[in-house]
Structure 1
Amino acid sequence: MSIFIPTYFSPISQYSEIIKSETIVFEMEDNFQKQSYRNRCYIYNANGKLLLNIPVKHQLKEGRKKTKDTLVENAFPWQDQHFKSLQSSYRVSPYFEFFEDDIAYIFEKKYKYLQDVNIDTFLFITDALQLSSYFTKTEIYQTKTSEKDFRLLADIKHHPEKIVDNYIQVFDDKHGFIPNLSILDLLFMEGPNAISYL
């Protein structure tokens, strides 16, 4: 069993561990942390690395808040912005058109909770890569666990030692290879062959 924190179109490092895991457990009882992959991902655009950030609601005088209780701030058109960014960044990639209609659902559905967005992105990726989408959820937070613990991969400051071999990226002739972007970068460039890179 391997334990992960659901993140927004997770980085490649997280999926390289997900595909090796027989059983996936999603951490539901952790506290929300700002500047983590919980509500952001990075893609490649004409200017280099681009941040896509889901705005979340912050309450006055809030203490620690669990990620599962974190609300999406829908006062901003973040879904339109993210989808347009993906289209402008990847429309010339080999596989974007193949997945465009299926991924559009995530940017049309209205979400209340951040965790629901992240689970839907996981389900989209597992379907696109033809992986098992079965997972369980934690009911209590454990600081130490007997499972393989990959919760640290949700932390932006954590830099995995080995990610994947270099692959062709849309703008690598301008900016070179950028490692550990969102799994979407690998998916749109390699399609079903992404599995061999992971």
Structure 2
Amino acid sequence: MVLLHPTYFSPISQYVAIANTKEFVFEVEDNFQKQTYRNRCYIYTADGKHLLNVPIQHNKGIKQKTRDVKIDYKDDWHKIHLKTLQTAYSSSPFFEFYIDELKLIFEKRFTFLLDLNLKCHELIMDALQLEISYSKTSEYQKDIQYFDARKLATAKTKEEFILDRYIQVFEQNKGFISNLSILDLLFMEGPNALNYLESQTINFK
């Protein structure tokens, strides 16, 4: 059993943890934290590592539970994200296999960040053809009885997760970049992405 945060098109390391367990739990009772993969992911563009950020509505001075965080649509971020993905990955081997399902997510306006993240997760699991059940916490988990992998949601960390190389669109120009969004792996490896995930290990204290 693994404990994880639901994140936005999660980093590959999170799906390594998922692919190598039989069941996992999503922590949904935590307080929202900035600079995490809860509302961001990194992809590979012609300019290198690129941030896609989901803007949220802030309540000044008030802590929000992640499940209560609402998405801010005033800047049409969803259109920008889709266009950026199309520009970056249209030449990748498996882009056309998944773009139609991705468009459905970006065309829908989710009120809550958690709902968006869970929908992204469902899309990825379907694409990987990976059937692993999950549950959601009913209270914040302090005394953990299983593998706590919540730190995989931390975007700003000194800890790097070095994963095996696979071919990337702009690798010849910028070199291999490890642990990008799962979308990068999916667009490049397609059905083989699951074999890749199952062959990796995530080690941290």
Q: Same fold (TM over 0.5)?
A: yes
Deviation track 1:49-107 (CA, whole Å, cap 9, x = no partner) reads: 110000000123x3211100000001120110000000000000000011111111110
CA contact (8 A) 1:12 1:163 kept: no
Q: CA deviation at 1:164?
A: 2.6
Q: CA deviation at 1:160?
A: 5.3
Q: CA deviation at 1:161?
A: 5.6
Instruction: Report the equivalent of 2:8.
Output: 8
Deviation track 1:24-50 (CA, whole Å, cap 9, x = no partner) reads: 110010110111000000000000011
Map 1:49-88 → 2, pairs under 5 A: 49-60=49-60, 62-88=61-87
* Ranges in structure 1 where 5+ consecutive residues have no aligned partner: none
Instruction: Report the equivalent of 2:201.
Output: none
Q: CA deviation at 1:134?
A: 2.5
Give distance in 2, aligned partners of 1:146 and 1:187. 32
For the aligned residues, what is the CA RMSD?
1.2
Give distance in 2, aligned partners of 1:103 and 1:182. 14
Question: What TM-score do you get using the length of structure 1 for normalisation?
Answer: 0.96
Give distance in 1, aligned partners of 2:96 and 2:24. 29
Instruction: Report the equivalent of 1:168.
Output: 167
Q: CA deviation at 1:157?
A: 2.6
The letter of the residue matching 2:8 is Y
Deviation track 1:124-152 (CA, whole Å, cap 9, x = no partner) reads: 00000001152110001122310111101
1:136 aligns with 2:135: yes
Distance 1:132 1:159, change over 3 A: farther
Give distance in 1, aligned partners of 2:47 and 2:182. 19
Give distance in 1, aligned partners of 2:74 and 2:161. 39
Identity %: 52
* Ranges in structure 2 where 5+ consecutive residues have no aligned partner: 198-205
Secondary structure of the structure 1 residue equivalent to 2:8: coil
Q: CA deviation at 1:11?
A: 0.1
1:25 aligns with 2:25: yes
Map 1:93-112 → 2, pairs under 5 A: 93-112=92-111
Question: What TM-score do you get using the length of structure 2 for normalisation?
Answer: 0.93
Give distance in 1, aligned partners of 2:158 and 2:15. 14
CA contact (8 A) 2:161 2:179 kept: no
Secondary structure of the structure 2 residue equivalent to 1:33: coil
Instruction: Report the equivalent of 2:34.
Output: 34
Give distance in 2, aligned partners of 1:103 and 1:44. 17
Secondary structure of the structure 1 residue equivalent to 2:99: helix
CA contact (8 A) 2:26 2:135 kept: yes
CA contact (8 A) 2:18 2:24 kept: yes
Instruction: Report the equivalent of 1:184.
Output: 183
Instruction: Report the equivalent of 2:203.
Output: none
